[in-house]
């Protein structure tokens, strides 16, 4: 049960990170994972209100801390309950892959391809976004999921070897 709650926390953190970057910071440097068509279409934006960018950076920092906190809590809870290597590995892998599936299903399939999320903040991408973009980054998703295997292994090893 705790693992699934931590997956939800990771998802919330990832969403807040996207919202901070797209809705408040609005700097092209944060669009490196977006399709090239979107990066080409995005124009610099002035602040809509005083402190908008600062708020975005603070929100992004909070989101990152939320995700790191979920990992730390997952480790601490597992240590407290006497998890073995396999249990830690599975917990971390479920957390990372759950977040990645959320990224694919919600960010890529829904927000990028079927909603007005990006055009709301960047009207210039209205004709660029759409269902044809789904799957544009499947190689990076696969690479990231492979990295998650390694990171989960290392985290599980650290939790069982040192605690």
Identify whether the C-beta of residue 152 lies closer than 8 Å to the C-beta of residue 93. yes
| 86, burial (CB in 10 Å: exposed 0-12, middle 13-18, buried 19+) | exposed
Question: What is the pLDDT, as a whole number, of residue 9?
Answer: 98
Cβ proximity of 26 and 45 under 8 Å: yes
For the chain, what percent of residues have pLDDT higher than 70? Answer: 100
Q: What is the pLDDT of residues 74-83, one digit of tens each?
A: 999 999 999 9
| pTM for this model (two decimals) | 0.90
* CB-CB neighbours of 39 under 10 Å: 14
How high is the pLDDT of residue 20?
96
Taking the C-alpha atoms of residue 122 and residue 103, their distance in angstroms, rounded to an integer, is: 20
**134 pLDDT higher than 90:** no
Output the CA–CA distances (angstroms, integers) from residue 49 to 45, 46, 52, 53, 55, in the order listed.
11, 9, 6, 9, 10
Number of domains in the chain: 1
Asked if residue 111 lies in contact with residue 117, where contact means CB atoms within 8 angstroms, the answer is yes
pLDDT, residue 51, reads 95
pLDDT digits (tens, 9 = 90+) for 118-133: 889 989 888 888 888 7
pLDDT 10s digits, 49-72? 999 999 999 999 999 999 999 999
Task: Give the domain extent around 6.
Answer: 2-161
Please give the mean pLDDT across all residues of the chain. Answer: 93
């Amino acid at each position: 049960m705790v693992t699934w709650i931590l997956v939800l926390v990771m998802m919330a953190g990832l969403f807040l990170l996207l919202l901070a970057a797209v809705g408040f910071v609005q700097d092209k440097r944060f669009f490196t994972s977006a399709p090239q068509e979107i990066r080409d279409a995005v124009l610099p934006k002035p602040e809509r209100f005083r402190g908008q960018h600062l708020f975005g950076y603070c929100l992004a920092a909070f989101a990152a801390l939320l995700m790191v906190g979920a990992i730390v809590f997952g480790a601490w809870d597992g240590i407290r309950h006497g998890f073995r290597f396999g249990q830690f590995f599975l917990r971390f892998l479920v957390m990372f892959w759950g977040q990645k599936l959320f990224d694919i299903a919600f960010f890529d399939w829904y927000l990028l391809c079927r909603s007005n999320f990006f055009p709301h903040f960047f009207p210039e991408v209205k004709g660029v976004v759409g269902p044809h973009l789904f799957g544009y980054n499947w190689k990076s998703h696969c690479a990231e999921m492979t990295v998650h295997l390694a990171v989960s292994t290392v985290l599980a090893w650290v939790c069982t070897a040192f605690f």
